[in-house]
Amino acid sequence: MIYTELTKKAMKLCFEAHKNQVDKSGMPYVFHPFHLAEQMKEELTTIAALLHDVVEDTDCTLDDLGNMGFPAEVLEALSLLTHDDSVPYMEYVAKLKENPIARAVKLADLRHNSDLNRLDHVDETALARAEKYRQAMALLEKVP
């Protein structure tokens, strides 16, 4: 983990925002963004990894994050990472490819979410989701 004033602020916000949430196996959800952040090599990607689901899964907005002092580059990546359900999933993923911060975070997110060992029970829904994520990773990793 990269520890700077802004990453520590993001860590605290991430913990507070997700503290009462659990993942599909009932584990504290906050472990997921912390796991992603541990893989990042730069301050901005670390912040984006920590905050990648805050706007999508809580009442916190991009404006709130901007008012807290998070940089425009992080806000742009978070905007791209926040999936609007009206946009087809692969179209959403394709747009992430153009932003290096969003791309790095989403690849880590997809790898972690594809790890079926995290689940207590693997069913057809989980297998289908893992396949969708495999296709998304291939799209993001494809060099033009």
User: What pLDDT does 142 receive?
Assistant: 87
Give SS3 for 22: strand
Mean pLDDT of 36-54: 97
Q: What are phi and psi of 59, to 5 degrees?
A: -85, -5
Cβ(48)–Cβ(101) below 8 Å: yes
Give the closest residue to 2 by CA, choosing from 51, 66, 47: 47
Q: What is the pLDDT of residues 64-81, one digit of tens each?
A: 999 999 999 999 999 999
What are the distances in angstroms from CA 138 to CA 9, 28, 60, 97, 103? 33, 29, 31, 11, 12
User: What pLDDT does 144 receive?
Assistant: 61
Determine the Cα–Cα distance for residues 78 and 81; give it in Å rounded to an integer: 5
Residues composing the chain: 144
Catalogue all structural domains in the chain, each as residue range(s) with its CATH number. Answer: 5-141 (1.10.3210.10)
Q: What is the pLDDT of residues 84-113, one digit of tens each?
A: 999 999 999 999 999 999 999 999 999 999
Task: Spot the catalytic one: 38, 42, 56, 63.
Answer: 56
Active site annotation includes 57: yes
Task: Spot the catalytic one: 42, 57, 131, 141.
Answer: 57
